[in-house]
Amino acid sequence: MQSDEHESDTSGEPEPACTNGMALSLCDEGARLGPAALAWLHDAILQAMVAMRRSGQLSVKIVGDDEMARAHETHKDRPGTTDVLTFDLSAGEAPLDADLLVCADEARRQALARGHPLEQEVLLYVVHGVLHCTGYDDDNAAAAERMHRAEDEILAAVGVGATYARPAGEERM
């Protein structure tokens, strides 16, 4: 896939990039990922959107535990942090119009436990959030299994491979 040239902004203001009908804004205010990881993530998100045949607008803000816990309480009335919060502004219709809050601290914990890079876990959370916008849910075991299978198919399609439940012995990114 060819992507437009872009600069990842870690200073706070997201830099939009548009590729194949997908406008992506990726913001890492706390510079939690670093420039190389953020650039990789930007390209990987655009590839995942192509694999999902999604166009539209996606805004991803990477935050820490404190900001995520506040947002989780405010928007879901649940205490504590979580991995990703999805705000579907398009009401499930095409094209996509969504804002995602992704918790880098939770991603770091899970990436360490699963044995892969932080940016791969963050990509998983972005794919997860977008799938919520397309009708997937994970509110029961069967729905969660279906959603995680879809995540891994998308991540495999972009060359990352299964991430949520990587088969034993499968190489990491």
Extents of the domains making up the chain: 15-136
What whole-number distance in Å separates Cα of residue 148 and Cα of residue 122? 14
CA distance 124 to 114: 12
Is residue 26 within 8 A of residue 14, CB to CB? The reply is: yes
What is the CATH architecture of 15-136? 3-Layer(aba) Sandwich (3.40)
- Per DSSP, the three-state class of 21 is coil
- Tokens, residue 5: 């040239």
Quick: pLDDT tens for 78-131. Answer: 999 999 999 999 876 679 999 999 999 999 999 999 899 999 999 999 999 999
Q: Mean pLDDT of all residues in the chain?
A: 85
171 pLDDT tier (thresholds 50, 70, 90)? very low
Q: Which pLDDT does position 117 carry in this prediction?
A: 94
CA gap 111, 114 in Å, rounded? 5
Q: Which residues contact 112 (CB under 8 A, 6 or more apart)?
A: none
170/92 Cα distance (integer angstroms) = 34
Stated length of the chain: 173
